[in-house]
C-alpha cells in the first residue's frame, strides 16, 4: 500500500516536470526565416511580448524614415543660385563741355601799308585828297580813288576775326583785336569842307560771344556793338569838318570777345571803308 502511494507521487512529479518543460519549449525563439508576429492594435507598440528577438539590438521604428529623410535632404534638387546683380548700364554719352579759350589776347599780325596813287599837281583844283595810306594786317587791301580825288574806297578781303571751335580757322583766344589806321591828307585851294568816313562789313556772334567796332578820328569816337546773337551787315559812320592843307588820321579797331568756358563762336569782318570830301 505504501509503495503505491510513493509511485503515485513520483508520477505527479514527473508529470509536473514534463508540463514545465513543454511550457518552456513553447516560449523559446522561433526558427530564423519566419516573419515576426504583427503587432495587434490592442498590444502596445513597445510591448516585448509580441517582438521577435533578433541577433542584434532592436532598431527604432522611426530610424528608416529618419534615414530616408536625411537621404532626401542630401540627394534633393540643388538650391537655386542667388540672383546676380545686373551689370551696370553704360551712361548715356554726354556732350563734351566747351573748350575754354585762352586768356592771353591774340597777338597782332604784322602790319602792311598800302598807298593810293598820288593826285596830279593842279593848284587850281577844288579841295581833294592827296596820297592816302592804309596800314593794317590785310596785305590784300586796295585803294580805289575817284577821278576827282574827292572820293575813295578801300576794300579788304582778309580783315576778319573768327573765333571759337565751331568756326573755320577760328582762334582759340578769348579776346582778339585787329586794328587799322588811315592817313588822309586834304589839299587844294578851296575852302574847308566835311569829311565823311563810312566803315561797312558783316558780323555774326553766337551765344557766349560778342564783338565791338570802334572808329576814331579828329577827336571823335563812334562805337558799334554786336551782342550775342547778332547776325547782320553794318555801317558805322564818322563825319567831321576839314581844312585844305591838313592831314587827318583815322583808326578802326575791331574786338571780338568769347566768354571763357562757353565755347561761343563769332565771325566778324570789315569789307570796305568809303571816304568822301564834300
The answer to whether residue 139 sits within a structural domain is yes
The answer to whether residue 143 sits within a structural domain is yes
**What does the pLDDT read at residue 135?**
96
**What does the pLDDT read at residue 67?**
47
**What does the pLDDT read at residue 259?**
83
List the grid coordinates of 189. 585851294
Contact status, residue 270 vs residue 212, Cβ threshold 8 Å: no
Contact status, residue 108 vs residue 124, Cβ threshold 8 Å: no
Q: Count CB-CB contacts under 10 A for residue 52.
A: 12
Residue 2: phi, psi to the nearest 5? -65, -35
User: Whole-angstrom Cα distance, residue 149 to residue 255?
Assistant: 32
User: Whole-angstrom Cα distance, residue 256 to residue 163?
Assistant: 8
The total number of structural domains that make up the chain:
1
Element (H, E) at 25: helix 2-26
**What does the pLDDT read at residue 3?**
59
The answer to whether residue 2 sits within a structural domain is no
The answer to whether residue 205 sits within a structural domain is yes
List the grid coordinates of 50. 509580441
| Parts of the chain with a pLDDT under 70 | 1-8, 10, 12-14, 16-83, 85-88, 90-106, 122-125
Predicted TM-score of the model (pTM): 0.61
CATH number of the domain at 150, please. Answer: 2.60.120
User: Whole-angstrom Cα distance, residue 89 to residue 158?
Assistant: 51
The answer to whether residue 145 sits within a structural domain is yes
Containing structural domain, residue 119: 112-277
* Alpha-carbon dihedral sign for residues 190, 192, 194, 199: positive
The answer to whether residue 87 sits within a structural domain is no
The answer to whether residue 5 sits within a structural domain is no
**What does the pLDDT read at residue 2?**
56
The answer to whether residue 188 sits within a structural domain is yes
> 158-187 pLDDT, tens per residue?
999 998 877 777 777 788 999 999 999 999
Amino acid at each position: 500500500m505504501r509503495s503505491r502511494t510513493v509511485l503515485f507521487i513520483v508520477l505527479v512529479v514527473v508529470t509536473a516536470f514534463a508540463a514545465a518543460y513543454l511550457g518552456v519549449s513553447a516560449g523559446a525563439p522561433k526558427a530564423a526565416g519566419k516573419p515576426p508576429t504583427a503587432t495587434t492594435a490592442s498590444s502596445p507598440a513597445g510591448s516585448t511580448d509580441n517582438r521577435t528577438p533578433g541577433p542584434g539590438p532592436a532598431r527604432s521604428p522611426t530610424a528608416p524614415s529618419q534615414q530616408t529623410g536625411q537621404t532626401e535632404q542630401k540627394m534633393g534638387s540643388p538650391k537655386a543660385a542667388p540672383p546676380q546683380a545686373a551689370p551696370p548700364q553704360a551712361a548715356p554719352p554726354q556732350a563734351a563741355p566747351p573748350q575754354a579759350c585762352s586768356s592771353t589776347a591774340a597777338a597782332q599780325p604784322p602790319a602792311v601799308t598800302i598807298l593810293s596813287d598820288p593826285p596830279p599837281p593842279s593848284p587850281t583844283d577844288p579841295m581833294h585828297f592827296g596820297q592816302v595810306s592804309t596800314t593794317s594786317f590785310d596785305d590784300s587791301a586796295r585803294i580805289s580813288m575817284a577821278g576827282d580825288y574827292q572820293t575813295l574806297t578801300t576794300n579788304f578781303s582778309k580783315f576778319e576775326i573768327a573765333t571759337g571751335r565751331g568756326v573755320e580757322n577760328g582762334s582759340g583766344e578769348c579776346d582778339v583785336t585787329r586794328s587799322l589806321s588811315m592817313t588822309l591828307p586834304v589839299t587844294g585851294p578851296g575852302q574847308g569842307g566835311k569829311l565823311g568816313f563810312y566803315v561797312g562789313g558783316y558780323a555774326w556772334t553766337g551765344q557766349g560771344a560778342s564783338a565791338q567796332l570802334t572808329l576814331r578820328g579828329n577827336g571823335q569816337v563812334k562805337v558799334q556793338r554786336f551782342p550775342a546773337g547778332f547776325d547782320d551787315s553794318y555801317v558805322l559812320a564818322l563825319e567831321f569838318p576839314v581844312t585844305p592843307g591838313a592831314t587827318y588820321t583815322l583808326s578802326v579797331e575791331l574786338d571780338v570777345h568769347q566768354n571763357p568756358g562757353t565755347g561761343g563762336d563769332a565771325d566778324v569782318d570789315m569789307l570796305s571803308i568809303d571816304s568822301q570830301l564834300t
